[in-house]
Each structure stands twice: as C-alpha cells, then as structure tokens.
Structure 1
C-alpha cells in the first residue's frame, strides 16, 4: 500500500485480498481467511451476496445517480420498506452515503424541529467520526454516566433537542445500558418537549438479534440513523423520521449532498432489507448469537484470563484481564490471524470484538470457538 494513506488506527495485515465469499477471503496466493468482523461491521449479508450484486447490476442499466429535481422510483420503494421495518408510521426517510453523515443530519433535524441545540446521550457512546456527533463539548452535549451512582439527577432537560441512544456498541466495547434507565431518560426528555433518536449505524438491521437495537428497549424513536449493514458493504446510509418531519420548516432548513437519495444506493438498501426478511436472518442472528455467546462463556469459565463475555445477537465482545506484559487481546488476535481467522482488537483496550455476517455458517463459528480456546489456553 505504497500510495494509499491509511489512518484508521489499525495495522493493515492483508494487502492482496482478491476474492471474497460470505465470510471467507482469499489472497492472490490462495490463502484463505475467515472474516468475523464483516469488514468494518458492514457486510451484513456477507461478502458478494447474490442479492446485492444482482441489485447493483440491474440498477446500473437504469439510473445510478440522481439530481435535485429527478429521482428513480426505487428510492421511494426503498424508503417505504425502511420505514416499515423500523415501525415508523407516517414518516419519511432519505438515503446518504455514511453512518456518520446520517447521525449528523439527524441531529441537525432534531435541532431544527425543537429549536434547541443541546443533546443528551449516555457516557461512552460513539456517535460519529466528524461534526457535532464526534465532540462532547458541554455546550452541545449532556452526558449521563450510566455506570455510576448519580442517577439522572437534575438534568437540564428543557435544553435538550433529543436523547440520542446508541443501544449497545458503546464505542466498540459492546455494553448494553439498562432498560429502566433508557426508558426513564426517553420519557423525561419527551415530557420536556425533546425527541428520542436512535443511532443504529452499528446495531441496526438484525445485528443484535432484533431488527434494531431500540427494539430491546421497547422504544419508538422519532429519528433513526442507519448505516453499515444497510448496504452490506456498499456505502449507503439513511435517516428515518417519524412525524417529526412535519415540524421542519423546509423553507428554512436545507441539506443537499451530492449522493443524497441516489438510485444505486437505494436499490442496494432495498435488496438488503428484502433478503433479511426472505431468509429470516434477524432470527438466525438471534439464534447463532446465543449459541456463540454460550460457547464463549463456557471457554471463559475454563480460562480465568477472560474477564467477561458480552453479547447480543451477533455483536459480541471478549474482555481479557490485563496482563503485566504484552496485551492478551492483541496476542490472541495475532495468533488467530496466523490460523486464518480475523478478529479486531479495540485499540487501547483488552477487548476483542466479533461481528460476523448474519449469513455466517455455523461450522465457521465452531471452527472459531475451537481455535479460540486453543489460543487462549496457551496464554499461560
């Protein structure tokens, strides 16, 4: 990668992957790897799924890119399907190109609808790579320490445009806030005239064993930001809006982006959602995730170097007891890589995270569990 600027914070290990199928990658020399991170937690249907490639090929022959005054009918069909699976009635949706952009636009819409410029979120949430969502300035964000003993206290709810919930990723740590707290925050913010927004970029579309992470909390958000798995590797994201869209003055509020509501992205999003429904992949994620969690917990019970295993659906994390020497998580990740299994250690943390495609084969999960126990057992 002599000419490519890499700044992700992760070390590139493979620079010659030339073929991929579901959770398998092949290098130019024929070496095979098992991808249990689904790229960047994005290939919900695995690499190269037929439904996605067929949708792309078909749309390429019709219309790829739209302007501000002309659209392809697939955009509205995809919006309707997205609103259907989110459970939002009387709403609207639009398509963008990245999850961070979707979060940023949803925040801007919430601010416009309420006339407020501050937001409430849970401490440790990851909301975006840039813009307002990437900052925690006190004049914009009110953070709730949900692991402390302070409770909700005297929060300035009257200043909050929205309670922004990240329902489980927690900056890659895979931690799940308690339902009672989430319900209380959502209720109090709404009573004070604010909105409820869900950041489902990572947790949405079956990843947690439900269609969306907010389903685990019994919420009906006013705004939902969606990304990653929506395109199963293709760069498309979305914002789904409830009745809040009626409170936005379109004579004043404008957002125009070059690839907003592009036909190709919408076609991919529609194909992904339809395949999730057709193959019952949300249910599969719930079942496979429970099986994988049980397997990891059993390994943890036999190996005290594992501090905790956390998971919901096919979003799981293994946290290790810190060592005096080199990182245990890093040593395990490197040993698994040598065995042809790709997991990513969270930078600076003793955590390995698993987010395989929802289409992952169960024999692949069994292969991982066997290799993982062997490697962990050799840590000493």
Structure 2
C-alpha cells in the first residue's frame, strides 16, 4: 500500500479529518459517505470524501444538511461561480437544438468557439482542437510537438501537474501520481521550478533567472529536446515566476528550436486578470492548453491552441475524441467568454489583486506562522511555517486551519502540506472576499494560541 503524500492536495486519512467527519453527526450524510466508499474505487486525495453536496450556486456549495461553504477551490472550473444564468441558458438552448455532433461533421457553435478563442490569443495562435478535458489536450500538445520538431524528448518541472493520464504524469513531476506506475513517457527531463521562497538554488537579490538558465544547460547537454512544458504560474502551491524568468525561457526555446507548451488549464480564462496568465509576462507560447473554467463550471471542456504554421497534422490523428466538437461544450465556453467580457471581470480581478496583495501582506506582518504570501489576480497562496528562519513546513497547523475554516463556512485546498491555496470565483463580491479572509485570519489566530 502506497503511503499518502503531502503534495498536490490535502490528506484524507488524518486525525483532523476523522475529527471533522465526527462533527458531521448526520445520519443521511453518513449513509451517503458509506455508500460512496462502498461503490467508488478508492484513490489518493479522493477517498474518503469530505462531505456530500446537493447544491451549488454562485460562490457557494451546499451539503445535505443545508450548510453552505464559500468555495475557494472549485477544481478551478468555477471562474463564474456555479450555475451562472447566462451559461445555464446557453447550455439548455443548445440541448434543445444540437446536443451532440458526431465526428466527421462540424457545427456552427464549434466553429464560432474556435474563432472566438483565436481572437483572444496573440500573434498567430489561431489553430484549435477541442477535447473533453485538460489531460487530453496535454496529450495532443505532446503529439504535435513531436510532429513539428521531430524530437520526442521533453523538459518539464518537478512538482508540476499536467493531468492524471499516463502520458500526462509522464511529463508531470508529482510523486503521488507517479508512485508505483513503473516506466513512464521516455525522454522526459525534469528541472527545478522557479521557487521564490524555498527554492533549491537561492538567487541573488531574489532573482529566479538562473532556473531558466538551467533549462538551456539541459537542452544543450541532453540534445534532441522538442518541447518545454510548464504552467505559467504553478496553480496548486502558487509559485509566481518573475517577468525575467519567462522572458529568458522564451529566448532559450527560440534559440534552440524547442517548442514552448504553456499549460493554462487551471489558471486561464481570467484568473490572473488577463485572459491567459502568459499575457501577464509578455510572451507567447507555441502551444497553449486550456480547460477547466472554459466550460463555465458545467461542461467538461478543453482546447489546444497553436500557431498557424503548425497546421501540419492532416494525416495524423492528434485527438480523435468522441466529443471532439461538442456543441454543448462550445456553447458553455462561448457563454463563459461573453460573461467575462460583459461583466468586466478581467478589470475586476486586477482590482482584487491589489486588495489581496495589501490584505495578505498585512496578515503576514501580524502572524509569525505565515512564512510567505504570493499570488496573482484571484490565485493566492499562504504558506505556513513553524520556523521562519528554517522555513519548516507547518503541516499539522495548516490542516487545523483548513478544518476551522470549513466550520466557519469556507472551503479551500491545502497544497504541499502547508500552503493554503485560495482561488475564489472571479465573480466574488468584495464583501465576501473580506469575510473569507476574516475566517482565515481568525483560524490562524486560533491555532497560534
């Protein structure tokens, strides 16, 4: 039996979890949790379940008991919260006319969705393939990179996450997905991620450019590298590289004819205050992968977008998926984009960024247990430590904060064992944001005593 690891998510088998389950004290909830444990195959980070949900609306999820939680996790599908009326209506209307489009046919809504996505992307990123999930578009991107460059080798980052399929974990860097899986994708080289707070290579004056320089070292020593794949900002524990890092990465990839694959699956569609986080850094990837929030929190929907000149795969099937041009998925995506535009959510997120930067900075100054705060837009991480000098991870304390916040009506994710990861819906009102931060700070104060 493989031991659970503090990596991508919080652990489900601790004393704190058992204490939380005991507090539920609700017969119907317990019966449903028992049935879930009986019929679903158990897996890390999904078993046992935390609670039983019956409703989701706006920024809230609601359990069987009628208890509501502000959702600051949402598996990153909830940019618009849950059940946004514009998205719901478009999906219902589409179900009434064309609920499914068989392969070999196209449909107007899929064409319009591809056109719209191309218009949001810079330069010549205008060739699109859809798929039912982010993991699938990662696979398509890796295939296309091999075809374009003639090289199968890939460089990725340790601690990265690009999906749970065998090819995706092959380029990912998280042990909880790779443990016990045997041989994975050949030709993958991993390098350390640019980590500002506890990186393996301290830089001068906080610089992280040397992490980018190591990519060039590996490309030159290894040879035959076709692609470098990374999230612009690592989502789970919120690692935010510098502008200089990404500028250098783009230069290195250009110099060595290596394709830059950017994974925006969790953070695209506005979370950074830009449509795509890479736009914050003034770079353009060769292949862009998006998903999760693209489906408006309703429909599984993802897309790979690449440069016009890479339209060379007409004799090879890159992603021949059953729901390749899903009318319902495309209707949800178009509605999501429309809402972000009409409600000026990109501008709102930038204002929220400034507010959170100030408020979390002030919290850090008040609480010694907070070793670092970092983020962009409406994606933030609060890293808890027991010793600021040694940066010792406060794993037990982070878990206590999580369950105290759940008791206060706030749900979020703990990553790497000690990072409180906050990713609320982009539609969240300022007063709700303040209320959530008050819950977190009170929980931190409680465990500091």
TM tier, smaller: over 0.9
Map 1:213-362 onto structure 2 (within 5 A): 213-233=277-297, 234-246=299-311, 248-322=312-386, 327-346=396-415, 348-362=416-430
Relative to structure 1, the CA distance from residue 127 to residue 28 in structure 2 (aligned partners, 3 Å threshold; closer, same or farther) is: closer
Counterpart of 1:80? 115
1:308 match: secondary structure: strand
Contact 1:205 1:282 in 2 (8 A): no
The CA deviation at 1:8 is 4.8
The CA deviation at 1:249 is 3.5
The CA deviation at 1:161 is 1.5
Contact 1:160 1:189 in 2 (8 A): no
Counterpart of 1:114? 149
What is the alpha-carbon distance in structure 2 between the residues aligned to residue 59 and residue 46 of structure 1? 21
The CA deviation at 1:41 is 1.4
Aligned-residue CA RMSD (Å): 2.1
Relative to structure 1, the CA distance from residue 113 to residue 253 in structure 2 (aligned partners, 3 Å threshold; closer, same or farther) is: farther
Counterpart of 2:440? 372
Contact 1:169 1:202 in 2 (8 A): no
What is the alpha-carbon distance in structure 2 between the residues aligned to residue 29 and residue 281 of structure 1? 33
**Among 163, 182, 187, the residue aligned to 1:140:** 187
Counterpart of 1:69? 104
The CA deviation at 1:181 is 2.6
The CA deviation at 1:12 is 2.1
Q: How many residues align?
A: 375
The CA deviation at 1:18 is 2.1
What is the alpha-carbon distance in structure 2 between the residues aligned to residue 90 and residue 123 of structure 1? 27
Q: Does 1:13 align with 2:50?
A: yes
The CA deviation at 1:350 is 0.7
Relative to structure 1, the CA distance from residue 219 to residue 30 in structure 2 (aligned partners, 3 Å threshold; closer, same or farther) is: same
Q: Does 1:34 align with 2:97?
A: no
The CA deviation at 1:321 is 0.6
Give CA-to-partner distance per residue, 1:105-130, whole Å, 9 cap, x none: 11111111111101223333222212
Give CA-to-partner distance per residue, 1:76-120, whole Å, 9 cap, x none: 100011111122436211211111111111111111111110122
Contact 2:119 2:126 in 1 (8 A): no
In the superposition, the TM-score normalised over structure 2's length comes to 0.79
1:352 match: secondary structure: strand
The CA deviation at 1:35 is 1.1
What is the alpha-carbon distance in structure 1 between the residues aligned to residue 394 and residue 88 of structure 2? 46
* Stretch moving more, 45-54 or 2-11: 2-11
Relative to structure 1, the CA distance from residue 46 to residue 134 in structure 2 (aligned partners, 3 Å threshold; closer, same or farther) is: same
Relative to structure 1, the CA distance from residue 181 to residue 81 in structure 2 (aligned partners, 3 Å threshold; closer, same or farther) is: same
What is the alpha-carbon distance in structure 2 between the residues aligned to residue 40 and residue 252 of structure 1? 32
**Among 193, 196, 201, the residue aligned to 2:265:** 201
Relative to structure 1, the CA distance from residue 326 to residue 224 in structure 2 (aligned partners, 3 Å threshold; closer, same or farther) is: closer
Give CA-to-partner distance per residue, 1:196-215, whole Å, 9 cap, x none: 22100012111112211111
2:217 match: secondary structure: coil
Counterpart of 1:156? 219
Tell me, which stretches of 5 or more residues in structure 1 are unaligned? none
What is the alpha-carbon distance in structure 2 between the residues aligned to residue 165 and residue 325 of structure 1? 27
